[in-house]
Amino acid sequence: MAGCDSPDVRSDVGRLSLAETLGDVETAGYARALAPRPFSFPEDHGPHPAFKTEWWYVTGNVTTADGRPFGFQFTVFRSALSPPDRAAGGGASAWSTNQAFMGHFGLSDPDGGTFHAFERFARGAVGIAGAHAAPFRVWIDDWALESESEDAFLPLRLSARADGAALDLRLVDGKPRVLQGRDGLSQKGPEPGNASYYYAYTRLPVEGTIRVGGESLAVAGSGWLDREWSTSSLGPGQVGWDWFALQLDDGWDLMVYQLRNADGSADPTSDGVLVSPEGERVPLRWGRDFEIAALDQWRSAVDGASYPSRWKVTVPSRDLDLTVVPVLEDQELNLAFRYWEGAVRVEGSSRGEPVRGRGYVELTGYAGPRPSR
Amino acid sequence: MTLLRRASLRHLLRHPGQLALSILGVALGVAVVVAIDLAIQSSREGFTVSAETVAGRATHQIVGGADGVAERSVAAVRRAANVEAAAPVVEGLASSPDLPGMALRVLGVDPFSEGPFRPYLGGDDGQGEDSSGEGGFSVADFITTPRAAVLSAATAERAGLRPGDSLVVMVGGRLVPLPVIATVDPTDELTRAGLRDVVLMDIASAQGLVGRPGQISRIDLRLAGSGPSAELSAVLPPGTRLEPAGTRTDTLAGMIGAFDLNLTALSFLAMIFGMFLIYNAQTFSVVQRRELLGGLRALGVTRGEVLRTVLGESVVIGTLGAALGVAAGVVLGRGLVGLVTRTINDLYFVLTIDGLSVPPAVLAKGAVLGLATTVLAALPPALEAASVQPRMARIRSIKEGQTRRMVPRAAAAGAALALVGTALLLIPTRNLIVSFAGLFLVLLGMALTTPLATVVLARAATPLLTRTSGILGTMAARDVVAALSRTAPAIAALVVAVSVTVGLGIMIQSFRGTLIDWLDGTLQADVYVSLPSVQAARAAGTLPTALLDTLVGHPRVVGRSTYRGNEVVLIDGVVRLVALDLDPRGEAAFDFLEGDAASAFPAFRTSDAVLVSEPLAYRRGLELGDSFSLPTSSGTVGFRIAGVFYDYAADQGVVMMSRRTYDRYHDDGGVTSLGLFLEEGVDVESVVRDLEARVPDGLVVTVRTNQALRRGSLEVFDRTFQVTAVLRLLAFVVAFVGVLSALMALELERSRELGVLRANGLTPGQVWQLVTTQTGLMGAISGILAVPMGWVLALVMIHVVNKRSFGWTLHMEVGPDVVLQALGLALVGAIVAGVYPAWRMSRVSPAEALRGE
């Protein structure tokens, strides 16, 4: 991917975020995630421009009153185009910035059999796109995630519209915020600094409307917000990750991810966490506490790129045994930055009791950039 | 091959000179028309391609007034319903020592917004094609490298630059290096052409370089099918408007409409001369063959066959002439296109073209025009040939008798045409086609009266010539009348040619005189300061405030006026808005057509009243006391007109607003030029040197005396009229060739008559005398007729064509030199035309000439 020389502005920006995701970037001049740090809110809800990349990542599963399910993803990526110590190129102009924003909006409609994915790019200037800590707001044009009130982070209002699909959702307080990794330092590659600062709201009750296929539908369900910022994450041998965010109907949430090496093996820095119904955090260590096994694979219609599909996720210490099934096979975001991010159904057992759930899975590093048409 | 065709071919081949001159006449006419057409088309195409390349695939644009568009509106516009995509643009001009003589357009864009608009930037063109070609660049470098620039590969090559080098540009009087981070080489030829003068930059860099803080030049939009939404209208910043893409390009292109049409009309004049020539030559060749044609008719050849034969000859001549003319037109066009684009650059807008583009349609148009004109011109003689009675053919006196009877009728018809033409000219319209039609009718009408005038003048001249040259003089004068069927068209052609030369001469002289008077009045300050510009008539960029203070602070400076000029593109045209901080000493600069200084200036200084130029008032039908609306940052505002002043600097029109008023409605502190008033009696040149010394290092500022600026303005004027001068010359050459061929043929045809005279004792010297006296007489007649006719032409050009084209009043000036030039030109032309026949006739032995007798 780093070898992609397309002059396409979009893929160029996509490449920026992907390249940094893969760790193949110039890190000089940027802040690094080297050690745990004290988090400070509301400031940390806002942008961290000293780091190369950052995202506000909302996923969720909702249903209409008569049970029609939908999955949604809304992400704003921030990408620094130059280190903070270097002045932006445009001098005193209000357009001058080194902050670029990319937005992804996905909507899965398993009953309708369709998956919608949209992207946007914008410079963080003159109000077109940006991120503010308090009152909290991240936006690209009319795609926005923002606090409803001036003085509290939650509830959040999420709105996005695109050709043939739109979201207007309210996310309210569900469980407390959890710091991922080691006190919020999520180690990705083995080298110091190949890590991110990472916190999440694993359960945010959602209600609002979805517009799809010309219909406006009232929906309710549960969302998940991930916040992560870093300068580099993957180590030299790492190619991508499989990330699971599962909400079980017994009140437990499970986040596990597995970093993949070029040879297909899972990297020991893979990590996970279980969050109790009360919001207590139970760390899971890869190789000891959880296992992920792909049961099937799916080939992209775009170029035949092969993704895993259907998984067995087990946490033996907790006697948790789950089968994870995509609500639609094709939930590939065939955008400038190409990956698979889809709503999943969960079935299985927890301590012998049957359990169901919903969630989101993210698969990166399986496909090259969108083939140029 | 039929007998008729053989006879025709033989005739053509036996008179190669006549044939060559006919072909040359057509060729010259076609060449001038084609050359002007090509030059105009190339300049227009260059402009359109540039404009379209820069505008990209926008469906609509948001444009503003002098301030542009407030950048804070962009976010709301992008969010408005129906806006599929919106791209902010900052545009400005620069020049570069690396690309001498070329105006560069700095195009500042936001690469994240560009995808659907300008695919050459490497975005997704929405049509599944990658049209960016070779190249491409990193968006991060583009945005974060200070002043980063991207050039087209061809432009970079021309400047001798490679990625990594810097393009040095002159902006705001300073040289600024722009790192060239990449080049783009679009696969599409038009885009490549459109990018030749473009320096692509990130919008932030461009705003810092050529823009103003807080303002952008425009917002390009792609709107969904249903077009502008109410929501979009609601978020438009004050003083801006939403218009379909292309509106602005059309409006700008409209600026040169009158200029183009005037050139085209002049080129048609050349074609009309060519037509005269064909008519002349064909008439003559028919006259020469009357006997032959009569014989053929007696042998049973039908009228239709004769008609077809003569027309067939004209088709041959027309085809050869058109082919030659098209080729010559392309060559001539290469020369003219430079002059045309330079004038457009000087007066209207920045335009760079790679060279002459040669659309086959233009060539075809020229060729068809040439051929059609030839056949049309040959029609009367062909009809005449067909009407020859077999019995009468040999008797030339019958023909001459007919011609003489035609003379009063032609004059009457001419007078009628001239009246119709005058009536057309009197129609109060601004339509230039009607005006030129009127002009051409008047010209044609006057030409038709020349045979009558010739008869009158030749008879009047007879006693004089008899007294000076004896019997030869009498013969010369009488022959002019006796051979009227051949002398009249020649004289008419010469009269038209000379009168056009005279008319254009008077017009240019009057224009120049008017301009000089106006400049003397307008340039009231002693010293003018501005930044060097690639456009003669426009200052480029604003002067640094600190410099203004430094210069005004010079001890010899007793007053100053400042100017801030902006082109404002309105929906229906362009106006030049000037913010004027006027020193009271400068008030004398205004010569009012409507209103007066006593009432205009107090209103101008203390209220929102404006002063408008005559062309603006004329074009828009504005009068004193009317209101003129302009878009401003505070919305569209109507300004009361306190005076209409004479102005010859901008034919699109000027609005003068006091600086106080301007600042109230605009967010713009800039000053584009400064006029300084010095103490009485100081040495202006030494003050200029002092002022120049006060300009900080690295800043390039033009400090000029009143006189230098006046000279500079006249240079631009003279440059502007170079095209006209070239056309005037060409038109004259066409007519001259026509006259030459007519007179030569006329005299050669008289060889038998001269042979008889020689046999009766006329010496070769006397032949010389006879021939040159006759052609000289014809020249004199032409010259005498051309003066009033040229004067009428000038009158129409000045008071109708120029007024309607450009809106200004010129004061007619007729100098004796123009009149003398006309007489001299006609005389010399006619006498030169007589030299060859005289030389030949004087050498031919009487026996040879009489062989046929």
DSSP string, B16-45: HHHHHHHHHHHHHHHHHHHHHHHHHHHHHH
The answer to whether the beta carbons of residues A99 and A78 sit under 8 Å apart is: yes
Q: Which residues of B538-555 are buried (b: 16+ CB within 10 A; e: fewer)?
A: bbbbbbbeebbeebeebe
Provide the pLDDT for residue B135: 46
Residues B777-789: tens digit of each pLDDT: 888 898 889 888 9
- Chain B residues in contact with A93 (beta carbon < 8 A): 203-205, 207-208, 211, 213
- Please report the residues numbered 256 through 315 in chain A whose beta carbons come closer than 8 angstroms to any beta carbon of chain B: none
Please indicate whether residue B346 or residue A140 has the higher confidence score (pLDDT): A140
Asked if the structure places residue A158 within a domain, the reply is yes
Residue ranges of chain B whose CB lies within 8 Å of a chain A CB: 71-72, 74-75, 78-79, 88, 110-115, 121-124, 128, 130, 132, 135-140, 143-148, 184, 202-205, 207-208, 211, 213-214
Per the structure block, which two tokens stand in for B489? 């068209």
Band (pLDDT 50/70/90 cuts) for residue A16 is: very low
Asked if the structure places residue A170 within a domain, the reply is yes
DSSP string, A61-97: EEEETT--EEEEEEEEEEEESS-TTSPPTTTT-TT--
Cβ contact (<8 Å) for A90 and B203? yes
Report the residue of chain B nearest A162, measured CA to CA. Answer: B84
Closest approach of chain B CAs to the CA of A139, in angstroms?
A: 11
- Chain B residues in contact with A81 (beta carbon < 8 A): 139-140, 143-144
Residues A313-334: tens digit of each pLDDT: 999 999 999 999 999 999 999 8
Over residues B547-571, the mean pLDDT reads 91
Provide the pLDDT for residue B773: 86
- Chain A residues in contact with B72 (beta carbon < 8 A): 126-127
- For the ranges A25-29, A123-127, A144-148, the lowest mean pLDDT is seen at A25-29
- Chain B residues in contact with A13 (beta carbon < 8 A): 112, 139
Closest approach of chain B CAs to the CA of A127, in angstroms?
A: 6
Cβ contact (<8 Å) for A10 and B74? no
Please indicate whether residue B139 or residue A348 has the higher confidence score (pLDDT): A348
Provide the pLDDT for residue A26: 73
Closest approach of chain B CAs to the CA of A121, in angstroms?
A: 6
Over residues A164-189, the mean pLDDT reads 93
Asked if the structure places residue A259 within a domain, the reply is yes
Contacts of B853 (CB under 8 A, 6+ apart): B752, B755, B756
Phi-psi bin for B128: left (phi > 0), alpha (psi -120 to 50), beta? left
Q: Which residues of A256-282 are buried (b: 16+ CB within 10 A; e: fewer)?
A: bbbbbbeeeebbebbbbbbbeeebeee
Q: What are phi and psi of A353, to 5 degrees?
A: -90, 140
Band (pLDDT 50/70/90 cuts) for residue A23 is: very low
Distances in whole angstroms, Cα of residue A366 to Cα of each of A145, A256, A297, A298: 29, 18, 11, 11
Cβ contact (<8 Å) for A91 and B213? no
Over residues B247-255, the mean pLDDT reads 82
Phi-psi bin for A139: left (phi > 0), alpha (psi -120 to 50), beta? beta
Is pLDDT at B394 greater than 70 in this prediction?
A: no
Please indicate whether residue B98 or residue B846 has the higher confidence score (pLDDT): B98
Mapped to the 3 state alphabet, what secondary structure does B45-58 carry? HHHHHHHHHHHCCC
The distance from CA B429 to its chain's CA centroid, rounded to whole angstroms, is 21
Over residues B368-382, the mean pLDDT reads 87
Asked if the structure places residue A249 within a domain, the reply is yes
Range of the domain at A49: 9-363
Band (pLDDT 50/70/90 cuts) for residue B536 is: low
Provide the pLDDT for residue B129: 35
- Taking alpha carbons only, the member of A274, A277, A175, A169 closest to residue A221 is A169
**Residue type at B522 in one-letter notation:** T
Per the structure block, which two tokens stand in for A61? 């599963």
Contacts of B374 (CB under 8 A, 6+ apart): B26, B275, B278, B314, B315, B317, B318, B321, B322
Residue A260: which CATH number?
2.40.370.10
Is pLDDT at A19 greater than 70 in this prediction?
A: no
Provide the pLDDT for residue B850: 66
Is pLDDT at B812 greater than 70 in this prediction?
A: yes
Cβ contact (<8 Å) for B143 and A88? yes
User: Is residue A123 less than 8 Å (CB to CB) from chain B?
Assistant: yes
Interface test with B, best of A9, A17, A86 (most B CBs within 10 A): A9
Cβ contact (<8 Å) for A128 and B138? no
ipTM, interface predicted TM-score of the complex: 0.88
What whole-number distance in Å separates Cα of residue B236 and Cα of residue B76? 9
Q: Give the best-scoring range by mean pLDDT among A105-119, B419-433, B505-519.
A: A105-119
Asked if the structure places residue A4 within a domain, the reply is no
Preceding peptide of A155 cis, ω within 30° = yes
Per the structure block, which two tokens stand in for A299? 């080939």
Is pLDDT at B290 greater than 80 in this prediction?
A: no
Cβ contact (<8 Å) for B202 and A89? yes
Residues A208-249: tens digit of each pLDDT: 999 998 899 999 999 999 999 999 878 778 888 999 999 999
The answer to whether the beta carbons of residues B733 and B28 sit under 8 Å apart is: yes
The answer to whether the beta carbons of residues A61 and A358 sit under 8 Å apart is: yes
Cβ contact (<8 Å) for B204 and A141? no
**Closest partner residue to A92 among B114, B123, B213, by Cβ?**
B213
**Closest partner residue to A91 among B135, B143, B146, by Cβ?**
B146
Please indicate whether residue A255 or residue B100 has the higher confidence score (pLDDT): A255
- Chain B residues in contact with A86 (beta carbon < 8 A): 144
- Chain A residues in contact with B122 (beta carbon < 8 A): 6-9, 12
Closest approach of chain A CAs to the CA of B116, in angstroms?
A: 11
Cβ contact (<8 Å) for B124 and A10? yes
Provide the pLDDT for residue A1: 28
Provide the pLDDT for residue B48: 84
Cβ contact (<8 Å) for B130 and A96? no
Would you list the domain boundaries of chain B? Answer: 1-56+253-394, 60-244, 450-523+711-853, 532-700
Report the residue of chain B nearest A373, measured CA to CA. Answer: B128
Distances in whole angstroms, Cα of residue A179 to Cα of each of A106, A171, A189, B545: 26, 19, 19, 56
Is pLDDT at B809 greater than 60 in this prediction?
A: yes
- For the ranges A210-219, B235-244, B468-477, the lowest mean pLDDT is seen at B468-477
Report the residue of chain B nearest A143, measured CA to CA. Answer: B79
Closest approach of chain A CAs to the CA of B62, in angstroms?
A: 17
Provide the pLDDT for residue B469: 80
Is pLDDT at A126 greater than 90 in this prediction?
A: yes
Residues B577-625: tens digit of each pLDDT: 999 999 999 998 899 999 999 999 999 999 899 999 999 999 899 999 9
Over residues B382-394, the mean pLDDT reads 71
Tokens 């030369």 sit at which residue? B501
Q: Per this entry, what is the length of chain A?
A: 373
Over residues A282-293, the mean pLDDT reads 91
The answer to whether the beta carbons of residues A274 and A318 sit under 8 Å apart is: yes
Over residues B65-91, the mean pLDDT reads 90
Band (pLDDT 50/70/90 cuts) for residue A67 is: very high
User: Is residue A18 less than 8 Å (CB to CB) from chain B?
Assistant: no
- For the ranges A341-345, B360-364, B763-767, the lowest mean pLDDT is seen at B763-767
Is pLDDT at A373 greater than 50 in this prediction?
A: no
Provide the pLDDT for residue B125: 35
Over residues B133-147, the mean pLDDT reads 76
The number of folded domains in chain A is: 1
Band (pLDDT 50/70/90 cuts) for residue B829 is: confident
Cβ contact (<8 Å) for A92 and B208? yes
DSSP string, B756-785: HHHHTT--HHHHHHHHHHHHHHHHHHHHHH
Per the structure block, which two tokens stand in for B503? 């008319």
Average pLDDT, chain A: 88
Band (pLDDT 50/70/90 cuts) for residue A78 is: very high
- Taking alpha carbons only, the member of A268, A279, A216, A207 closest to residue A238 is A268
What whole-number distance in Å separates Cα of residue B801 and Cα of residue B807? 9
Contacts of B707 (CB under 8 A, 6+ apart): none
Provide the pLDDT for residue B131: 37
- Chain A residues in contact with B111 (beta carbon < 8 A): 9
Cβ contact (<8 Å) for B136 and A127? no
Q: Give the best-scoring range by mean pLDDT among B451-455, B738-742, B824-828.
A: B451-455
Q: What are phi and psi of B74, to 5 degrees?
A: -60, -45
What whole-number distance in Å separates Cα of residue B65 and Cα of residue B662? 12
- Chain A residues in contact with B203 (beta carbon < 8 A): 90, 93, 95
- Taking alpha carbons only, the member of B35, B33, B34, B63 closest to residue B250 is B63
Interface test with B, best of A11, A12, A335 (most B CBs within 10 A): A12
- Chain B residues in contact with A89 (beta carbon < 8 A): 143-148, 202, 204-205
Torsion on CA atoms B3, B4, B9, B11, rounded to nearest 10? 110
Asked if the structure places residue A1 within a domain, the reply is no
User: Is residue A127 less than 8 Å (CB to CB) from chain B?
Assistant: yes
Closest approach of chain A CAs to the CA of B575, in angstroms?
A: 29
Per the structure block, which two tokens stand in for B832? 């030169």
